[in-house]
Amino acid sequence: MKCDPTLLRLAQPAFVKSTLIRQLLLPPLIILLVVGLGLAGYLVSESSGIRTLSETGERQLELHARTVESEISKYTYLPSLLELEDSVSSLLSSVGDEHRQGVNEYLEGLNRRSRSRVIFVLDTTGRVQATSNWRDADSFLGEDLSFRAYFQDAVRGEPGRFYGIGSTTGEPGYFLAHGLEEHGKIIGVAVIKVGLDTLEERWQRARLEAFVSDENGIIILSSDPARRLKSVRPLTPQIKERLARSLQYYWWPLNELEPLARETLADGMEKLTFPANSETDQGHQHEVTYLAQTRRLADTPWHFTLLTPLQDLRREAMVQGVLVGVAFSLLAILLIAWNERRKVIATRLAAREALQEANSQLERKITERTADLRASNERLKGQIRERRHAEQTLRHAQDELVQAGKLAAIGQMSTSIAHELNQPLAALRTLSGNTVRFLERGALETASTNLRTMNDLIDRMGRITASLRSFARRGDDSGQASLAKAVDASLQVLANRISECQLQLHRQFDDQQLAIDQTRLEQILVNLVGNALDAMASEPLPQLWLEGERQGDRYRLQVRDNGHGIDAETRKHLFEPFFTTKPGEHGLGLGLTLSASLAAAAKGTLNVEHPANGGTVFILVLPLAFSSTTTADPL
Ligand code: ADP
């Protein structure tokens, strides 16, 4: 079976090219997708982590901001309490020093109990009239602090809130100022300075990263000392100058807190990256990224910022990104494997379809061929019928020819027949006349002898006519013949001529039963022997050999003479009808033709051979009739 050529179209160059391009592009595409999805996974994980972290941070922010607020508000009402103290109002109202010491000692005790840094009282000009640290060398008793903003606010009747570094002590602190009233008139200002470094210590202990920035954006409290007194937003030179002149931060340079990267995520929420320092170094990173959440503190212009490191989150996001990449890689591998499997199945299906198509094509072709064969078979049957018909016609014609040949032979022999019959007739006439006379004389013995002779003559004449009749009779294809009888009959027919030429006959054959009509075999033999007699007519010692031998299921009879033989030209036309070399009315040229036809009709053959030592051999081969009894079986 041949493969359908349409299947080979699959291997067209365009298809091969596109497959090649696909195979070349697929690996980098997959790598790109793995990296892209890994990155996306990392970003999604990071942002969701930040969201979770920000929610947690929000609560933390609230908690710690409230702690800061409560720490600050703890001291809010303390300065106003001094209003109730008579010695303070006396000190501020009178010009003398007699109340000062008492107030100093009172403030000293109050300061100790409230755990504040210092408590002092200013007059309306801003000069310190009494202070809790009156014993200290750096006591600012008598100092003019009118330049301080908290004084200016408080003297106007507004609450003074101020974070700054003490101009005398150089210590940072939170100043709360309150205008002391008497009879509705401000007579002085009470100030309490609170140190908030306990908050910082608490943050550090809790490993919390946080800072508080004031209204100027300067970090006043920080868990990381390195960030302290740095500005969280850019300061213009004018603002810097103003702040320097106010001495709020003493002589600190007020540098900006410069993050390496800053990203605003939402209102009050930023992502800040700082260079890592030895104290806050987490591992060995060069930079640390924080989620910065800022909230304004109540009752102050300050802001509390909580910093949550994002390193763990990033590590987790990175792991998740890698996991996404790996998962996609696995998925891609699975998809590729599935696709390959699908292709294999598709190829198998295509091959099966092609096979089925080829099978159905084959079946179609077989059906067509069968139809062709049936048609040609029908044609052959028709031809066979025609041939049979032609054979029948031929056989009929052959029969007719045989008959004609026989009649012709009879015609030829008519002279001999007449001679043969006239002689006994003349003898009969003479004998009958003589017999009459012998009877008249009473010579009965002689008369009866004559009558016996006449009987013999009549028998002979009967035999002649009988053989002629049997020769002229029509035969048929079936039947069987006795070879010996046929030879005898043919010799009987030709007996006259045989006796004329003094023929020497050699009989060397068995009496076989042959599958041919008896009459037809006799006719063949008459023809062959007759021709031999003709050929030997001028031979002084004519000899005829009839030699037979069995060949399997056939019998071969040779009719050999020592006549003149057949020349080369005659050999070519020997079996042609009406070919004869015999002069005048003597030959009809039908003998051999008819004999060969009769032999062929009996499924036998008639051939000729030309012996080197002269003469002619006709070889008649006929099938044996097995049903008959054979007299001799050489096998
Ligand atoms: P016919 O005997 O009427 O001529 P045949 O067909 O019997 O027709 O013979 C054809 C010719 O074959 C004869 O004319 C003769 O020349 C040649 N022929 C046949 N038999 C012999 C033979 N035994 N020897 C020589 N010639 C023969």
pLDDT digits (tens, 9 = 90+) for 508-534: 999 999 999 888 898 899 999 999 999
Confidence of residue 590 (pLDDT cuts 50, 70, 90): confident
- Establish whether domains 78-195 and 198-309 are of one fold: yes
Phi-psi region of 295 (alpha: psi -120 to 50; beta: other; left: phi over 0): beta
Cα(365) to centroid(ligand 1), Å: 58
Amino acid identity of residue 512, one-letter, is Q
CB contact at 8 A, 303 and 212: yes
3-state secondary structure of 288: strand
pLDDT digits (tens, 9 = 90+) for 219-269: 888 888 888 888 888 888 888 888 887 777 877 777 888 788 888 888 888
DSSP for residue 219 = E
Distance CA 495, CA 86 (A): 201
Q: Give the residue whose CA is nearest to atom 10 of ligand 1.
A: 580
**69, 299 Cβ separation under 8 angstroms:** yes
What lies within 8 Å, CB to CB, of 288 at 6+ separation is: 273, 274, 275, 276, 280, 281, 282, 309, 311
Q: What angle do CA 392, 395, 400 make, to 5 degrees?
A: 125
Distance 604 CA to ligand 1 centre (A): 20
pTM across the whole model:
0.47
Residue type for position 462: G
Highest mean pLDDT among 37-46, 86-95, 345-354: 345-354
Q: Is 217 in the pocket of ligand 1 (CB under 6 A)?
A: no
587 lines ligand 1 (CB under 6 A): yes
Write down the pLDDT at residue 467: 53
E strand or H helix at 189, and its extent?
Answer: strand 185-194
Ligand 1 pocket mutation pick from 494, 533, 534, 609 by most atoms within 8 angstroms of CB: 534
Tell which wins on pLDDT, 190 or 26.
Answer: 190
Answer yes or no: is the C-beta of 558 below 6 A from any ligand 1 atom.
no
Answer CATH for 476-635 from 3.20.20.60, 3.30.565.10, 3.30.420.40, 3.30.450.90: 3.30.565.10
Distance from residue 570's CA to the centre of ligand 1 (Å): 9
Which residue's C-alpha comes closest to atom 8 of ligand 1?
589
pLDDT at 281: 47
- Give the position of tokens 């004559």: 450
Q: CA–CA separation, 423 vs 458, rounded Å?
A: 11
Residue nearest ligand 1's atom 7 by CA:
591
Determine the pLDDT at residue 89. Answer: 84
DSSP-derived secondary structure letter, 136: S
Query: What are the angstrom distances between the C-alpha of 61 and each of 209, 222, 271, 293, 296?
Result: 11, 14, 15, 7, 10
Each as own residue / partner, the long-range contacts of residues 82-91 (CB below 8 Å, 24 or more positions apart, any chain) are 82/119, 82/121, 82/178, 82/180, 82/190, 83/178, 83/180, 83/181, 83/182, 83/190, 88/121, 88/130, 88/180, 88/188, 88/190, 89/180, 89/182, 89/187, 91/121, 91/129, 91/130
- Pseudo-torsion of CA 482, 484, 490, 491, nearest 10°? -170
Q: Which atom of ligand 1 is nearest to the CA of 581?
A: 14
Residue 38 neighbours by CB distance under 10 Å: 21
Q: What is the pLDDT of residue 309?
A: 86
589 C-beta closer than 6 A to ligand 1: yes
Is pLDDT at 634 greater than 50 in this prediction?
Answer: no
Q: What is the DSSP letter of 74?
A: T
Using a 6 Å cutoff on CB, does residue 292 contact ligand 1? no
pLDDT at 99 over 70: yes
Question: In 3-state terms, what secondary structure has residue 315?
Answer: helix
588 lines ligand 1 (CB under 6 A): yes
Q: Is 592 in the pocket of ligand 1 (CB under 6 A)?
A: yes
Q: Which atom of ligand 1 is nearest to the CA of 593?
A: 6
CATH fold of the domain at 198-309:
Beta-Lactamase (3.30.450)
How much is the pLDDT for 226?
Answer: 85
Which tokens hold the place of 228?
A: 């302290």
For the CA atoms of 232, 238, 244, 249, what is the dihedral angle to 10 degrees?
-20
- Measured CA angle at 32 (ends 27, 38), to 5 deg: 125
pLDDT at 2: 47
Asked if 300 contacts 245 with a C-beta cutoff of 8 angstroms, the reply is no
Higher-scoring residue by pLDDT: 355, 94: 355
| Ligand 1 contacts CB of residue 561 (under 6 A) | yes
Q: Could you give the CA distance from residue 221 to residue 224 in angstroms, rounded to a whole number? A: 9
First-residue to last-residue Cα distance in the chain: 54
Which residue type sits at 92? L
What's residue 30's pLDDT? Answer: 84
Q: What is the mean pLDDT of the chain?
A: 84
Cα(575) to centroid of ligand 1, in Å? 9
Is the C-beta atom of 566 inside 6 A of ligand 1?
Answer: yes
What CATH number labels 78-195?
Answer: 3.30.450.20
**Position in ligand 1 atom list of the atom nearest CA 561:** 23
Average pLDDT over residues 423-432: 83
Give pLDDT, residue 470.
56
> Quick check: CB of 544 below 6 Å from ligand 1?
no
Domain boundaries, the chain: 78-195, 198-309, 413-472, 476-635
The full length of the chain comes to 635
Cα(401)–Cα(595) distance, rounded to whole angstroms?
A: 11
What does the pLDDT read at residue 548? 96
Q: Whose CA is nearest to atom 11 of ligand 1?
A: 580
The confidence score (pLDDT) of residue 8 equals 46
Sign of the C-alpha dihedral computed for residues 526, 532, 538 and 542 taken in this order: negative
Strands (E) in 494-586, as ranges, are 504-508, 513-514, 543-551, 554-561
Ligand 1 mean position, distance from CA 532 (Å): 8
User: What is the Cα–Cα distance from 147 to 175, expressed in whole angstroms?
Assistant: 14
Residue among 528, 531, 543 whose CB has most ligand 1 atoms within 8 A, to mutate: 531
